[in-house]
Structure 1
Amino acid sequence: MKLSEEFKSALIEDAFLFLQSKLYGISGEVKMLDAIHRDISDLGDEWNKILASTPASLKITIDSYFIHQTPKVSYTGIKKTCIEFGDVLYLYTETDNKNNKRETALLMQAKVYENKKVDTHQLKLYTDWPTFWFHTQSIHKSGFNVVSIPQPHPGGRYLLLADSGKNSDFASTVTPRNGLKANIHDNYLERELVGLLQFSNGRELLGDDWETAIKSIEKYVKVNGKTFKGTLRGQPLLYVLNNGTAPNPNPNSNPDNPKGFWFVHIQADVPFPG
């Protein structure tokens, strides 16, 4: 999707303000993730005001899914039984008027912003991408060989969360690398989210093992209807049909809304350039 600098800046600002307001005064990784997920439709309301007035006709849906400690994976050479595949997954799907799809995914492992090294087993997955497989075989029984070029590839990153009242870098992101500590960053979550719309962030799905793994998770979370502290794991973020169309007044009525972990699915019907 092509976004003007005006629209891009507005989307980033709205996401920044949303994240700041939800993380203010909260401590703890799971509580922070839950706070963002629980009211994610608030961000959708603001984004709708911007995207509904874009020059091109759009069909955009964004769903938010949150999970803790599942699904898990194992990989060749790991010294633990299994680890989290990630805490957050964002999938952007763009469909043209001929129903051709282009997709990119961003998988993120969340940590509290602090001067501590991250788990080495998790870090190895995100830096080296050895052959891995889902610990729950019902998700997918085969192993995955994700080509990590460049290494590490931009589809797997770390999300660093902090109390926005104490830390101006409250929702920052960082490229995984050996010896990583959770107190540095090279990007911000609000920019990563908007970057997905332009395919400048995440890793594109190109019919390889990365796509198979991501699609396996997508399928898995769609049939998982669990709640977390009374909040549905699957939360609608945004629903826009075209220019000027108001948000769906009852997005929960959509039977296709998937269930699972914090998984943001953005879908737009726009023609590809050229």
Structure 2
Amino acid sequence: MRLSEEIRHALKEKTFYFLQNKLNGMRGEVNMLDNIHRDISDLGNDWNKILASIPTAPNVSMDSYFIHQTPKVSYTGIQKTSIEFGDVLYLYTETDNKNYKKETALLMQAKLYEDKKVDKDQLILYTDWPTFWFHTQNIHTSRFDVVSTPQPHPGGRYLLLDDSTKNQDFASTVTPTYGLRANKLDNYLESELVGLLEFFNGRELLGDWGTAIKAVEDYVKINGKTFKNTLRGQPLLYALNNGSGSGSGSTPSSNDPKGFWLVHIQVTVPFPD
């Protein structure tokens, strides 16, 4: 989607204030992720209003899924039996009027912003992308070779959440590098999300990367659960041009301490012939 500088700035600003409102004063990684997830439709309402100001505004849908301790992956040489594939996955889809589809994904491992090294096995996955497979059953049986040399690919990044006063932006991101400590940053979550809309961020769903991400998407949809009385799968925003808007709902749930959060963004853009 092509965004003007004005629209791009407005989307980033609304996202920043949404994160500030939901994360300021929160303690703990899981609580911070949960607080974003349960009110994600608030951000959708703001985005909806901004995108509606575009004369040829596209149809937009975004769904958020928060799943308990899954999926997990393994790879040759790993020290543990398995590790989380990530904590947050954003999947963006754009389809033109000739039904040509282009998709990109941003997978992030969440950590609290502090001066300590991150998990070595997780970091190897995100820096080297060795041949990996899903340890969690019923996702996919293949082994995946995701080429990322000479540097870690932009589809896999770290999300740093600050529950102190060190980082006034609350949610920042960083490129995985050897010996990484969770006190560095080179981008912000609001910029990462808005960048997906223009394919500036994330990695396009091609080859083994695309197959793995789509397998996770299918698995998450089929195995939707709830978290602290909030639906694990709920819409952020959708169907911009036909009067629909953001929505949410909740059902009873156990207080599971961990989860995998997937946000699926879909856009249909009426490109000229």
TM score, norm. by length of structure 2: 0.92
Within 2, Cα distance between the matches of 1:7 and 1:195?
12
264-273 vs 34-43, which moves further: 264-273
Query: 1:262 is paired with a residue of what secondary structure?
Result: strand
Q: In 1, are the aligned partners of 2:61 and 2:265 still within 8 Å (CA)?
A: yes
Within 2, Cα distance between the matches of 1:182 and 1:250?
34
Corresponding position of 1:16: 16
Structure 1 residues 17 and 165: CA distance shift in structure 2, 3 A: farther
- Give 1:248 shift: 3.3
Within 2, Cα distance between the matches of 1:267 and 1:150?
31
For the pair 1:268 / 2:258, whether they are aligned, the reply is no
Counterparts of 1:104-143 in structure 2, within 5 Å, are 104-143=104-143
Letter in 1 for 2:223: N
The Cα offsets for residues 115-148 of structure 1, whole Å up to 9 and x where unpaired, read as 0000000000000000000012310011100111
TM score, norm. by length of structure 1: 0.92
- Give 1:217 shift: 0.3
Count of aligned pairs between the two proteins: 264
Counterparts of 1:17-96 in structure 2, within 5 Å, are 17-96=17-96
148-157 vs 175-184, which moves further: 148-157
Q: In 1, are the aligned partners of 2:105 and 2:203 still within 8 Å (CA)?
A: yes
Within 2, Cα distance between the matches of 1:42 and 1:17?
11
Letter in 2 for 1:236: P
Within 1, Cα distance between the matches of 2:55 and 2:65?
29
Within 2, Cα distance between the matches of 1:3 and 1:211?
25
Letter in 1 for 2:261: W
Structure 2, unpaired ranges of 5+: 250-258
Tell me how large the CA RMSD over aligned residues is.
Answer: 1.8
Identity %: 74
Within 2, Cα distance between the matches of 1:109 and 1:39?
20
Within 2, Cα distance between the matches of 1:53 and 1:63?
22
Corresponding position of 2:254: none
Structure 1 residues 158 and 126: CA distance shift in structure 2, 3 A: same
Q: In 2, are the aligned partners of 1:129 and 1:147 still within 8 Å (CA)?
A: yes
Corresponding position of 1:217: 216
Structure 2 residue aligned with 1:247, among 224, 227, 244?
A: 244
- Give 1:251 shift: 6.6
Structure 1 residues 51 and 249: CA distance shift in structure 2, 3 A: closer
Within 2, Cα distance between the matches of 1:185 and 1:213?
27
Query: 2:67 is paired with a residue of what secondary structure?
Result: coil
Corresponding position of 1:5: 5
